[in-house]
Copies of this chain bind each other. A is one copy, B any other.
Amino acid sequence: MRRFLRHPVRLVPLGFLVAILFGTAALMLPLATIEEEKGAPFVTALFTATSAISVTGMAVTDTPHYWSGFGLALITVFTQLGGLGILTGAALVILTVSRQLGLRNRLLVQAESAEYGPGDIRRLLLRIAATVLACEAVMTVIIFGRLWLAYDYPPWHALWSATFHSVQAFNSGGFSLYSHGLLGFSRDPWILLPLTLGAIIGSLGFPALFEAARGWRRPIHWAVATKLTIWGTLVLLVAGSLILLIAEWTNPETIGRHGVAGKVMDAFSQLALGRTAGFEVVPTTAFREESYFVLIALMFIGGGSASTTGGIKVTTFFLLAFVIWAELRGEPDVTVGQRRVATSSQRQAITVALLSVAVVTLGTFTLILTVEPVAFYRSLFEVTSAFSTAGLSVGLAPSLPADGQLLLAALMYIGRVGPLTLGSAIALNTRRRLYRYPEEQPIVG
């Protein structure tokens, strides 16, 4: 067992599991709920703890009317710790594992080496924490002012709500203090823009964010991962918003009755807040089918690497696009902006994408075939949302029986830990092979 645990890749899944169990126990305390005298039932507490710690934000309860102030504070802390834990954990694990697995990667060793030696982790962690808190503070202040001045909230309530939603949005959480999410703030740029921009920045992940912030004058010099993340996110946001806007333009139940500016505001913020954080800005159950599929695709892709978002990641998606393009062009190398992409990165991208497709496919069919016969797109939406830790819901989760909720919780866990990390933790071969077999090029396709 000690030998099994020695490999750091195995500590991540176990760490999350332990955190979830503690969180479940805490949420089962009678103090955490408003009405349940004996505390929340096990499945509800487990689902909510997993959802908060994995920063998914999917809910099986009417959050503001089920959890007490203490319960909501726990959820906030779990989300923040989950978010920070992921950010710093990603930094640490990648640094540690990279030596053993031979992944010389850019996170610290290259991109950050100008400022940090590998022994200088504390400064990096502090900088991450400072950035998170600064962003959340700016978001909180703007939203607080708006809630206080325009919505006549009492100051303390306005501050609490502003803090809660800012933490959720920046950490790609997605819990809300309102039963209907952000529906009450439709078309209000003072509320939606801070949340949207915060969620987008939070979704980039610190390797890309720091390099883009430091080298914003010369994007041509960015690392491949940073280029793919920043430009890829931009492409996804613009294309996704446009499709959503066109699909919902005349839908009276979503944005059809708004003016042009309101349509654009709601479509953009729904897309940006839906794809990673999972907030509801317009009623998701009233979407047209095209919108469901756009959101499913974007949730599946997720955010930047080493960010609090799930999914296969923007880098993975666009790297695979470059791989396909190179293959179609008959190029021997996969090149992104004058850099050749290592075959090891390509292989990792393939594995992440295929394992994710397998998990989502299996999850969707398990839900339909063994738990509850629901429409395919609803099952696919909810499963993708749980796996990608986006947390946006078409309302299926709360109505599922216990085994269905446990399935979604398991998907959030797998999605958060990452199918590659989880699979490696189980299958990793710690012995080194001292020989190589002769090469062969089988025909495929």
B224, B327, B436: the one within 8 Å of A340 (CB) = B436
**Residue of chain B at shortest CB distance from A225:** B442
Quick check: is A250 within 8 A (CB to CB) of the other chain?
no
- A102 contacts B by Cβ under 8 Å: yes
Which chain B positions have C-beta within 8 A of A350?
A: 320, 323-324, 327, 346, 350
Closest to A420 in B: B445
B340 contacts A323, C-beta separation under 8 Å: no
Q: How distant is A419 from chain B, measured CB to nearest CB, in Å?
A: 8
Q: A375 contacts which chain B residues (CB < 8 A)?
A: 376
Q: Which residues of B contact A223 (CB under 8 A)?
A: 440, 442
B-contact bits for A225-245, CB 8 A (1 contact / 0 none): 100100000000000000000
Contact between chains at A443 and B207 (CB < 8 Å)? yes
* A323, B250: Cα distance in complex, Å: 46
Interface on chain A toward B: helix, strand, loop, or mixed SS?
helix
Closest CB in chain B relative to A299 CB, distance in Å: 15
Q: Categorize the interface residue count of chain A.
A: 35 or more
Return the chain B residue nearest A442 by Cβ.
B225
The answer to whether B328 and A437 have CB atoms under 8 Å apart is no
Is the beta-carbon distance between A438 and B339 smaller than 8 angstroms? yes
Indicate which residue in B106, B354, B442 contacts A443 across the interface (CB closer than 8 Å).
Answer: B106
- Tell me whether A106 and B441 are in contact (CB under 8 A): yes
A320 to B350, alpha carbons, bound, how many Å? 9
Contact with B along A156-181 (1 / 0, CB 8 A): 00000000000000000000000000
Told that A106-B443, A315-B442 touch, could you supply 14 new A-B pairs with CB distance under 8 A? A106-B440, A107-B443, A313-B444, A323-B347, A324-B350, A324-B354, A328-B351, A330-B429, A339-B438, A340-B440, A341-B439, A341-B440, A343-B346, A376-B376
Can you report 6 residue pairs joining A to B where beta carbons are below 8 Å apart? A106-B440, A315-B442, A327-B350, A335-B437, A339-B437, A346-B347
